[in-house]
Amino acid sequence: MLALSGTGIGRGIAIGRALILDGWQDEVPHFQIDPGDVDQEVSRFNEAIASVRLELRHLQAKLPPTAPPETGAFIDVHLLMLDDPLISHQPAESIENEKINAEWALKNHADTLVAFFDNISDPYLRTKKEDVTQVVGRIMDVLTRGEDRRRSDVAGLDQALNSRIIVARDLSPADTVMLRHRNMTAFVTRLGGPISHTAILARSLGLTAVVGLHRVIDTIRDGDQLIVDAATGTVLVSPDDRLLAQFQALQQRQHAQKQALAKLGKEKAVTRDNEEITLLANIELPEDLDALDDSGAAGVGLYRTEFLFMNRTEPPEEEEQYQAYCHVLNSVHGPVTIRTLDLGADKQVDGGRAEPTAAMTAALGLRAIRLCLSEPSLFKPQLRAILRAAVHGDARLMIPMLSSLQELEQSLALIREVCAELEREGAAFDPNIPVGGMIEVPAAAISADLFAQKLDFFSIGTNDLIQYTLAIDRVDDSVNYLYDPLHPSVLRLVHNVIQAGSEAGIPVSMCGEMAGDPDFTRLLLGLGLRQFSMEPSRLLEIRQQVRDSRLSRLPGWAERILECADSTSLHGLVDQLNAEDCA
């Protein structure tokens, strides 16, 4: 057994067999072969194809009657792909003509196929790339590790592919959305951090994951039994029966606890001294609304609209956006804060690949409102759609990543321009929609008092605020260890924003991951926060924490914590605060 350690996403436990995704794309042996070895190399390649074919048929024959019907079709597609000349014949020709090893020949042709699927505009067909990657991965596995090991493993493979745990170098947010369609419940990746958008999505989709697991690709093989423990960020590879039973019992306990917590959905989020706190949900796609009902959310505090723009090559037109926003507004009882497009950095239109409409940019680059202001043809249809949809519910419009007042003024001017256009057209729209800003760049947090004069509400985006304040790229796993919501500078900025909002008389909410972590609930209440927005799956736990807290005691604690300069003592104080019995 082997234990690997990374950063856990969520607190769940997943048990299943590994399904390696695109591991072969990283490291493939590459060398010239002697002309006299060509025949042997071609035979090695052909035998690998034959071995995988046998393996897939074997897998198909062993499918239990309870396996989902698409599992068989999934294997059929892989078998068909094995017959495709690009995979089964052309690499052999390259071995002969170019005198290169089989793995390299296969990789070259597979890359061509993957690029072909990447360029297909139909989002469904584009997902077929995953099938190519998986088939090629299987062949590569036989070639690089020998077929004996594979054959002996095949007998132990889980029958239902959707109970497999994805193992990959990295997953883009768009790929993670695709996992939902495959009903997969867990993944582990070599790259990634706790507040990357992939991690955030994983939480909201209820996936269990460990990211930043450096040795994952070298040490986990397709079909290995895995235990993924997100609470500790541990992945156990090939655990023994005793450990397996232990984790299965733990998994069942977690399930029972979740069901007990679910009953809280109907209870109010009131503190012990009767202060009601507003708990809202973050959503990424209209489909996320299903999770809202059971969570008891009072509305949507953050609707990340950029996910409507992903997994496609053309941005959605105004009408499509309008329909999507109307659907959300009609389905939610309570306010819905629609955030304008936050594309760029790790959120690209086409699953992380460069696109003409949104160039590859880093976190400090042309992202969010900067990108929108530089491309009015992308931004204006969205503003029009939001303003039109706003007549169907309690909508608010929120601008991400503001860093200067000029940017804010430019955005407000564009909103006025769009209102005038809609007016001229005689369209139904809400000219008085509240306009708020995300405070997630230190510049805005420091000057929150100035922004408060021009905005109707604030929402603190701690994911970016922490990234920019501590200068740690949220997707770079090598600096994960520096991520600290309790860093004194972060706490001071959060406090400053809450105070500025309160002095200006505008509501302040928090929609970063910090708002959904029960370890910080009491401290944030003590700092004066009264609105929390989070992934729906976090709401019940936060509701419990609110109900277990006595608000009158918290400002004193918050003051002591704000004054504490030493990080270890500060963390200790927060632990003490959380351990306090407020009965």
Furthest-apart CA atoms within the chain: distance in Å:
85
State in Å, rounded, how far the first CA of the chain is from the last one: 45
Residue 284 sits in the site that holds Mg ion (CB under 5 A): no
Judged on CB neighbours under 10 Å (0-12, 13-18, 19+), 253 is exposed
By CB under 5 A, the residues from 467 to 506 that bind Mg ion are none
**Closest CB to ligand PEP among residues 254, 496:** 496
Residues identified as active-site: 197, 511
In angstroms, give the least distance from the CB of 440 to Mg ion.
Answer: 5
Is 516 among the residues that bind Mg ion (CB under 5 A)?
A: no
In the complex with ligand PEP, the residue whose CB is nearer, 342 or 355, is 342
Q: Which amino acid belongs to residue 217?
A: I
Binds ligand PEP by CB under 6 A, chosen from 16, 137, 436, 512: 512
Mark 400-439 with x for binding to Mg ion (rule: CB under 5 A) and - for no binding.
Answer: ----------------------------------------
- Output the smallest distance, CB 426 to ligand PEP, in A: 35
Nearest to 397 by CA among 343, 446, 352, 335: 335
462 binds ligand PEP per the rule CB under 6 A: yes
Instruction: List CB contacts of 383: < 8 A, sequence separation 6 or more.
Output: 340, 397, 414, 415, 418
The DSSP annotation for 472-522 comes to --TT-GGGGGG--TT-HHHHHHHHHHHHHHHHHT--EEE-SGGGG-HHHHH
Compute the distance between CA of residue 257 and CA of residue 356 in angstroms, rounded to an integer: 47
CB distance 280 to 300 below 8 Å: yes
**452-471 footprint of Mg ion as x/- string (CB under 5 A):** ---------x--x-------
The encoded tokens of residue 430 equal 């809400």
What is the per-residue binding string for ligand PEP in 302-331, x denoting contact by CB under 6 A?
A: x-x---------------------------
Which of residues 484 and 580 has its CB atom nearest to ligand PEP in the complex? 484
What is the crossing angle of helices 462-469 and 488-504, to 10°? 130
Min dist CB 15 to ligand PEP, Å, is 29
229 versus 440: smaller Cβ distance to ligand PEP: 440
Token pair belonging to 11: 């607190």
Please give the helix or strand (H or E) that residue 262 lies within, else none.
helix 241-262
Provide, rounded to whole angstroms, the least separation between the CB of residue 273 and Mg ion.
Answer: 33
DSSP state of 264: G
In 76-115, which positions are buried (b, 16+ CB within 10 angstroms) versus exposed (e)? Answer: eebeebbeeeebbebbbebbeeebbbbbbbbbbbbeebbe
Least distance from ligand PEP to the Cβ atom of residue 379, Å: 17
Rounded to a whole number of angstroms, the minimum distance from the CB of residue 405 to ligand PEP is: 20
Identify the H or E element spanning 227.
Answer: strand 225-229
Give yes or no for residue 461 binding ligand PEP (CB under 6 A).
yes
- The reply on whether position 464 binds ligand PEP by CB under 6 A is yes
Q: For residue 337, give every residue at least 6 positions away whose Cβ sits within 8 Å of its Cβ, in sequence order, or none.
A: 280, 299, 300, 301, 302, 303, 395, 396, 397, 398, 436, 459, 509, 511, 533
Of ligand PEP, Mg ion, none, which one does residue 130 interact with (CB within 5 to 8 Å by kind)?
none
Shortest Å distance, C-beta 483 to ligand PEP: 12
| Residue 532 Cβ vs ligand PEP, minimum distance, rounded to whole Å | 12
Closer Cβ to ligand PEP, 164 or 304, answer by number: 304
For residue 175, the SS3 value is helix
Q: Which of 103, 440, 535, 541 binds Mg ion (CB under 5 A)?
A: 440
Told to check if 233 binds ligand PEP by CB under 6 A, we report no
The binder of 462, among Mg ion, ligand PEP, none, by C-beta within 5 to 8 A per type, is ligand PEP
Please report whether residue 361 would count as binding ligand PEP according to CB under 6 A.
Answer: no
Sequence-distant (6+) residues with CB within 8 A of 154 are 55, 58, 59, 223
Q: How far is the CB of 169 from ligand PEP (least distance, A)?
A: 22
What are the residues whose beta carbons fall under 8 Å from the beta carbon of 559, sequence distance 6 or more?
526
Residues β-bridged to residue 186: 208
Q: Which is nearer to ligand PEP, 142 or 200 (CB)?
A: 200
- Using CB under 6 A, which residues numbered 404 to 423 contact ligand PEP? none
Nearer to Mg ion, 144 or 403 (CB): 403
Q: Name which position in 342, 350, 355, 430 contacts ligand PEP (CB under 6 A).
A: 342
Pick out residues in 16-35 that bind Mg ion (CB under 5 A): none
Residue 211 binds which entry of Mg ion, ligand PEP, none, CB below 5-8 Å type-dependent? none
Triad 483, 486, 490: Cα angle to 5°: 85
- Nearest CB to ligand PEP, comparing residues 113 and 171: 171
Cα–Cα distances (Å) from 575 to 152, 520, 571, in that order, read 49, 10, 6
- 239 contributes a contact to ligand PEP by CB under 6 A: no
Q: Give residues in contact with Mg ion (CB under 5 A).
A: 440, 461, 464
Q: Give residues in contact with ligand PEP (CB under 6 A).
A: 200, 302, 304, 342, 440, 461-464, 511-512
